[in-house]
Structure 1
Amino acid sequence: MERTATAGPPDSPTPSGSPQPAAQVPQALDGMPQQRAGDAAPVDAGGEPARSARPAAGLRGLRPWRLLPSPTGTPFTFGYTALLAVTSLVARYADPAVVDALHQSSSTDVAHLVRAPLLVLPASALWIAGGVVSAYSLCFLLVLTALERRTGGLRTAGVFLFGHVLATLATEVPVGLAVLAGRLPGSSAHRLDYGISFGVAASLGALAGLLTPWLRWPLLLVFVALLVQDLTGFVDPMTSCGHLIAVGLGVATWPVIRRGRRARAAE
């Protein structure tokens, strides 16, 4: 049978005629939360409850500056961004002949991949095709910063290089084989190819695996739809195929980066 609180008897007069204090009434029913003495709601001068001067908890949690890299929070993205800023300045202000020579020597075309793959594969990721005003430069900042804050710098660098290298090979090796088979002219082996877009696409695919489903799938669908639109428009079919491959490679890293996020949260 449930217990209930009952009030004590009414005040009874003392021999001197003054009322005697009533018995102490229990503060609340069993199971009811009790308000602490320091939690009383503030009131204004008119006796009405005053509005709290503190901002809402959701607003206090907003930190927009975490969208951008920092030397302590995201050292890999911050350092890589600084390096890309330098190469972008070189591409913008250096002599055009020098810039063209640098781009040619960093190109991951078939001819360079055959001669010096270990040199051109990382060197090609030092340049932003289209400069710092391109869409991929903004994606680079936001996507890699978000990925590194969740899974750490080493895994972020690994995902970026994984997508950059494998997507490059997946698009250039068929070109080389087609040139050997006589299906493409020899000039196809010297196609200028450099930039960070494959690595960014792989990083976005990886980041999607760390987001909530209601954000993950719309992000992937919109991004893939844009890539398919470029592919069907035949603007640059080989690069468009490389972007789709890179996104798939990023999705393939979900088990690894999810373990990385759990390990980082446990630190």
Structure 2
Amino acid sequence: MQGPARRRTGRLGRAGRLLPTPTGTPFTFGYALVLLATSLFAEYGDPGTVAGLLHASSTDVAHLSRTPLLVLVASALWVAGGLLSPYAIGFVFVLTALERRIGAWRTAAVFLVGHVVATLATEIPVALSVLAGHLPDTSLHRLDYGISFGLMASVGALAGLLTPVARGLVLAWVSVMLLQDLVAFEDPLTNWGHPLALAVGAGCGPLLRRAGRRI
């Protein structure tokens, strides 16, 4: 019985490594708790209060021009679509896997860079288009929040740590999904930001592979 018991324990141990833990993946674990709290509040809190907080957290041009640091942080405290959205599920597994390979600080840096770069790259053209008269002033106040840009950067970074074949498969699969979103044209600015964030994360691959070998 000892052999089967050890194998079951080993499988449970490997499965447990897919999920964040306070000691093994402190950044992902702590961030996940924050997202859990805000998602529950968004689901069960007073609708007016929730709407006001989401609007105040939006990384639209108006907010970025006044309080850029505040809204860049606040916008990443919410999950668009709630706890059962693909973003929430992907966050747990992708960031856990990435943090186990490169550590908490580097994972946080990848997420932050992807979030900030993709946000600015999608909102600055809006500001310029409004100044040029190609878009109405209402475009300066669009609702934009969530973890999707940081998540896409993390996916790209994680893919960069895989073998060439696995890397190509992951990037191809994610790229197809992002292309479908672009074709649907439901939210063009956000949808263009996703492949940009993915490319930012993938571009960190060489540096992260060296960092991962040192951990």
Q: Identity over the aligned pairs, expressed in percent? A: 59
Relative contact order higher in (CA < 8 Å, ≥ 6 apart): 2
Q: Write the mapping of 1:107-122 to structure 2, written as runs, cut at 5 A.
A: 107-122=58-73
Q: CA deviation at 1:212?
A: 1.7
Matched residue, 1:64: 15
**What residue identity is the alignment partner of 1:119?**
L
Matched residue, 1:105: 56
Q: CA deviation at 1:59?
A: 7.7
Q: Write the mapping of 1:1-267 to structure 2, written as runs, cut at 5 A.
A: 54=3, 62=11, 63-264=14-215
In structure 2, distance between residues paired with 1:58 and 1:170: 49
**What residue identity is the alignment partner of 1:75?**
P
Give the TM-score taking structure 1 as reference length: 0.77
- Helix, strand or coil for the counterpart of 2:108? helix
Give the TM-score taking structure 2 as reference length: 0.95
Q: CA deviation at 1:53?
A: 7.4
In structure 2, distance between residues paired with 1:95 and 1:236: 27
Determine which structure has more spread, i.e. the larger CA radius of gyration: 1
How many residues align? The count is: 212
Q: CA deviation at 1:94?
A: 0.9
Deviations, residues 178-232 of structure 1 (Å, cap 9, x unaligned): 0000000100000000000000000000000111222211111010111011101
- Helix, strand or coil for the counterpart of 1:67? coil
In structure 2, distance between residues paired with 1:183 and 1:142: 41
Please identify runs of 4+ aligned residues in structure 1 that moved more than 6 A. Answer: 57-60
Q: CA deviation at 1:133?
A: 1.0
Q: CA deviation at 1:255?
A: 1.9
Q: CA deviation at 1:60?
A: 7.3
Deviations, residues 106-160 of structure 1 (Å, cap 9, x unaligned): 0000000001001000110000001101001000000000000000000000000
- Helix, strand or coil for the counterpart of 1:54? helix
> RMSD of the TM alignment (CA)?
1.6
